Amino acid sequence: MKVAVLGSQRRDPTVRRAAEALGLADGRIALVTAGWQEREPEDTELSSHLGEHTINLMLHRRADDIFKRDPEFAQAYRARQIRYRRIQDFYRIRLEYLIESAKVISHRVAPQDLLDEELQSSVSAIRMLDRHHQRQCTRVRNEFRDAWNPASRPIVQEHRLELREMLDSCAGLAIAGGHVASLLNRLQLLGIDELWGNRPLLGWSGGAMVLMEHVVLFHDSPPQGVDAPQLLDVGLARVDGLIVLPQPESRLRLDDRERMSMYARRFGPSLCLGLPRRSWAIFEDGRLQEAHGTLRIELDGTVSNLGEPLS
């Protein structure tokens, strides 16, 4: 299975080159733009970048149709999402305090060996909270699946059948970014992961994030709100042992070694891979095959180039 992850495609798009590297130069490509929400159909420019041999799966619109035609299911789904948001809120509150305490402790004056021990304790506490949050999200998802079995709902079945026929005509699947939670929800609701199987796929920005085993929300300098990187949920797990961080040039404090080290230690042994503009990397069966312009965050907080920049 081949997977390409890319940085933002808003300027200087590289999606065509990545698609060619996946062997998709001439084949039809299915598009997922559900993260764009109401702008989902506005794919003309994206289609032109991919040679115009594309078909939009319209997952956001399909989900709206399911909720409109199956109000009982829609009500239960909304209740699930409210529960998710509450769990995320509790998790974020605890996370902020743990990260702040780790920062305060790291700046204390003490023998280096003691500081190292305390840093490890801080990281362990954060990782424990991350695992607890993941279990909570999994429990909510499994309880909803067991109670409602979305795949058995007639309207869901109708859309999945249509999607299967569309996907059978495609050689590749391209997942754009946008609202990450909305994108992940639509992919899961409509069973795209199962329908697509092990054929080549590519994703950028939020689309790359949802392809990972864990989806991490982050922004080191947000205009408002908190700046604690947080797990959203498990993703599609198409590449194991990897956390992708799109737009690191504007969303990460790359020169803050202490902060970068916390990313690498907290999410290790997974590799934290920054995806700047124009960057992309290809994995096959979970192994890195080639990388262009990507960034690797090291345990000591330094940031190194992984792969040659694009010319």
Handedness of CA 273, 91, 138, 189 (dihedral sign): negative
The answer to whether position 83 is within a domain reads: yes
Task: State phi, psi for 228 to the nearest 5 degrees.
Answer: -85, 120
**pLDDT value of position 225:** 61
The Cα 190–Cα 156 span in angstroms is: 7
Indicate the pTM of the whole model: 0.94
Q: Are strands 172-175 and 29-32 parallel, antiparallel or unpaired?
A: parallel
- Note the residue count of the chain: 311
DSSP code at position 226: -
How confident is the model over 33-76, as pLDDT tens digits?
Answer: 999 999 999 999 999 999 888 999 999 999 999 999 999 999 99
Domain extent, residue 248, equals 2-306
User: Which amino acid is it at 298?
Assistant: E
Assigned token pair, 122: 């801080």
Residues 6+ apart with CB under 8 A from 162: none
Half-sphere exposure of 100 (CA within 13 A, CB side): 8
Write the CATH number for 51: 3.40.50.880
- The 10 Å Cβ neighbour count of residue 53 is 16
Split at pLDDT 50, 70, 90, the class of 226 is low
Split at pLDDT 50, 70, 90, the class of 311 is very low
Angle in degrees, 0-180, between the axes of helices 257-267 and 112-148, rounded to the nearest 10: 50
Assigned token pair, 119: 């840093």
How confident is the model over 271-294, as pLDDT tens digits?
Answer: 999 999 999 999 999 899 999 999
| Residue with the two structure tokens 């149709």 | 65
The answer to whether position 311 is within a domain reads: no
The Cα 311–Cα 296 span in angstroms is: 20
The answer to whether position 127 is within a domain reads: yes
DSSP code at position 239: B
How confident is the model over 253-264, as pLDDT tens digits?
Answer: 999 999 999 999
Q: How many structural domains are present in the chain? A: 1
Half-sphere exposure of 231 (CA within 13 A, CB side): 26
Is residue 34 within 8 Å of residue 174, measured between CB atoms?
no
- Hey, which bits of the chain come out as E strands? 2-6, 29-32, 54-56, 172-175, 201-204, 214-217, 230-234, 242-246, 271-275, 280-284, 287-292, 294-297, 303-306
The answer to whether position 121 is within a domain reads: yes
The answer to whether position 18 is within a domain reads: yes
Euclidean distance between the first and the last CA atom of the chain, given in angstroms as a whole number: 27
The Cα 48–Cα 66 span in angstroms is: 30
pLDDT exceeds 90 at position 224: no
